[in-house]
């Protein structure tokens, strides 16, 4: 029993250290350091706000908050995928010369990016507080942890596929840059689900990110749990969890 606890402790420590390394290294030799985690999403949000609020003039009430409620979670996904695509390739010596669970390299990337999401959470919190719908314990205490877990599982699965295939063909990481850009516009982030023509909506639901982002937006922007989307997202997470167990063996 003691032995098991120790090995669990070790795994936890390893994951913690790898994540810590991922976070601190990103901002080594910068002046602003970890503040970039806050500035980065703010700047990207500003760009979209200028584009859609001032130039395109979307007729959506409180568009800034509407956008951010899905954009920040999207950034978590985006940065996790982009960084983890190289995590196996860049750590070849580690993989070849040391034994440890290799998927930790990927998990630590996603966790580190999650920490960056946490940095932008206060902004979302303030927005929710002053929006018409307010906040409730149900959405922030239960809904958000659940959707984080679901998105984590989904991101992990996608990252596993990408990083493993990237070890065979480096073309993958370039391909991903294109696909992810497409995925961004194919997911209701800058626009609401309702602006998609009715007949295409079920097609959009094939994109797992559609339901995940919709749940986020429902929680933050409308302060309610959109059960239908949540269940779809949960189903996707379960499929990915199964696949991950297989891929872990490949690693």
Partner 1 sequence: MSKIIEVQHLIKKFPMIKNQRAFKEIVVNLHRFSSKKNNEHFIALNSISFSVEKGECLGIIGKNGAGKSTLLSLLLGTSYPTEGELKIYGKRTPLLELGAGFHPDLTGRENIVLNGVLLGLTKEEVLARQEEIIQFSEITEFIDMPVRTYSAGMYMRLAFSVAICTDPEILLIDEILAVGDESFQKKSQGALIPLIKSGVTTVFVSHNLEEVKKICNRVLWLDHGNIMAEGAAPQVISQYLHKINP
Cβ proximity to partner 1, 57 vs 96, nearer residue: 96
- Kindly indicate which of the ranges 98-106, 172-180, 193-201, 239-247 contains the residues binding partner 1, using the contact rule CB under 8 A: 98-106
Under a CB-based contact definition with an 8 Å cutoff, are residues 85 and 109 in contact? no
Under a CB-based contact definition with an 8 Å cutoff, are residues 98 and 91 in contact? no
Applying CB under 8 A, which of residues 51, 94, 149, 238 lies at the interface with partner 1? 94
Nearest to 147 by CA among 87, 213, 194: 213
Q: Which residue has the tokens 């749990």?
A: 225
Applying CB under 8 A, which of residues 1, 31, 98, 178 lies at the interface with partner 1? 98
Applying CB under 8 A, which of residues 28, 57, 59, 246 lies at the interface with partner 1? 28
Cβ proximity to partner 1, 9 vs 62, nearer residue: 9
Chain positions 151 to 190 lying near partner 1, rule: CB under 8 A, are 171
Cβ proximity to partner 1, 18 vs 88, nearer residue: 18
Alpha-carbon distances of 113 from 9, 52, 118, 248, rounded to whole Å: 23, 26, 9, 21
- Interface with partner 1 includes 23 (CB under 8 A)? no
Tokens encoding 5: 């606890």
CA torsion angle for 72, 36, 146, 225 (degrees, to 10)? -30
**Contacting residues toward partner 1, per CB under 8 A:** 6, 9-10, 13-14, 16-18, 21, 24-25, 28-29, 93-100, 171
């Amino acid at each position: 029993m003691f032995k098991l606890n120790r090995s669990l402790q070790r795994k936890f420590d390893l994951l913690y250290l790898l994540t810590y390394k991922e976070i601190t290294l990103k901002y080594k030799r910068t002046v602003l350091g970890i503040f970039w985690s806050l500035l980065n999403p703010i700047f990207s949000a500003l760009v979209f706000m200028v584009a859609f609020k001032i130039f395109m003039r979307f007729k959506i009430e409180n568009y800034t908050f509407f956008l951010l409620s899905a954009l920040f979670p999207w950034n978590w996904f985006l940065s996790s995928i982009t960084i983890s695509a190289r995590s196996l390739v860049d750590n070849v010596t580690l993989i070849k010369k040391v034994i440890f669970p290799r998927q930790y390299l990927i998990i630590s990337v996603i966790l580190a990016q999650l920490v960056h999401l946490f940095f932008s959470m206060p902004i979302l919190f303030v927005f929710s507080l002053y929006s018409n719908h307010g906040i409730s314990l149900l959405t922030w205490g239960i809904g958000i942890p659940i959707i984080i877990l679901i998105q984590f599982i989904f991101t992990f699965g996608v990252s596993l596929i990408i990083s493993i295939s990237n070890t065979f063909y480096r073309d993958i990481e370039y391909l991903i840059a294109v696909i992810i850009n497409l995925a961004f516009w194919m997911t209701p982030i800058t626009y609401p689900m309702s602006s998609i023509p009715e007949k295409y909506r079920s097609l959009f639901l094939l994109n797992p990110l559609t339901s995940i982002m919709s749940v986020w937006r429902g929680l933050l922007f409308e302060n309610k749990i959109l059960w239908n989307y949540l269940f779809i997202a949960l189903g996707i997470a379960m499929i990915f969890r199964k696949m991950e167990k297989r891929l872990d063996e490949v690693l």
